[in-house]
Amino acid sequence: MKIAITGKGGVGKTTIAAGLARLLAADGYNVIAIDADPDANLAAALGIDPGEAANIIPIAKMTDLIAERTGGTPGTMGGFFKLNPKVDDIPDGLSVKANGVKLLVLGTVEKGGSGCICPESTMLKALLKHVIVRRNEAVIMDMEAGIEHLGRGTSESVDAMLVVIEPGQRSVQTARQIEKLAKDLHIPRILLVLNKVRDREEEEILRTYLPDLPVIGTVLERESIRKADLEGKSPFDSDPDYVSDIKVIKDRLQAEIGEAGGAAETATASS
């Protein structure tokens, strides 16, 4: 199962991504969670201690590693460097492990603009493609709205993109833009997650704004989730109702993708 999660900033992508990763790990999957959002905070949502999370160095910031693997100088554009750097050892060697999940923090390329041809961008895209295409693990990606790291060859191996929306027209408009990008990249399933919803009436109103996109699940707004975020903790460890909402999403994804028995197969393959 390879799932990309995106949406407007602040809609709760990370809350959804962390819950899915934790639940899949609890089911016996080998899980890699990828933080590909410039505002990286997936570590805390997974239950990693905030002090430890603050010390995680994003791959994009590992200038010596990037220079070694690409033969190029990070922070520059053009020139000569490898377009297929060695990355197969990175998921195991540089991930942070917690609660059964391997976390990789990609970071973002700060120079050159969107889609720049530079060593950092090449390294991140090669790593993401390796994890999605080559490795036999469940992959949960917390993406930015622009899905910058997904290239065409990688996106075609993604099983589904979850677009998280919250009550509000800006969130809905961003979802429309993401839908177009995802279709351009031939992602096979584009599914909505309704987040921060106060009640069923609000849920039904949201559904009317994007009637052509299937809703895979709803996560209700709860004070416990906000409090967990404020304290740098995972709601997974303190809010069983939140876990129940995420479980509905997970179960529907497994039914949609056809991997209801995948946990046992993945565990067996890796043992």
User: Over the stretch 133-178, which tens digit does the pLDDT of each residue have?
Assistant: 888 899 999 988 767 667 666 777 899 999 999 999 999 999 999 9
pTM, two decimals, is 0.87
DSSP class of residue 11? S
**Class of 2-270 in CATH:** alpha beta
Task: Give pLDDT, residue 78.
Answer: 57
* Per-residue pLDDT at 247 exceeds 90: yes
- Token pair in block for residue 151: 């290239």
- 171, 194 contact by CB (below 8 A): no
Distance CA 123, CA 104 (A): 13
Measure CA of the first residue to CA of the last residue in the chain; give whole Å.
Answer: 18
- 254, 262 contact by CB (below 8 A): yes
**Greater confidence, 52 or 5?**
5
Summarised one tens digit per residue, pLDDT across range 89-99 is 999 999 999 89
Going from the C-alpha of 219 to that of each of 19, 38, 128, 165, 189, the distances in angstroms are 11, 24, 28, 10, 20
Average pLDDT, the chain: 85
96: Cβ contacts below 8 Å, ≥ 6 apart: 43, 48, 52, 56, 102, 103, 105
The angle formed by the CA atoms of residues 142, 245 and 231, to the nearest 5 degrees, is 60
Distance CA 196, CA 256 (A): 24
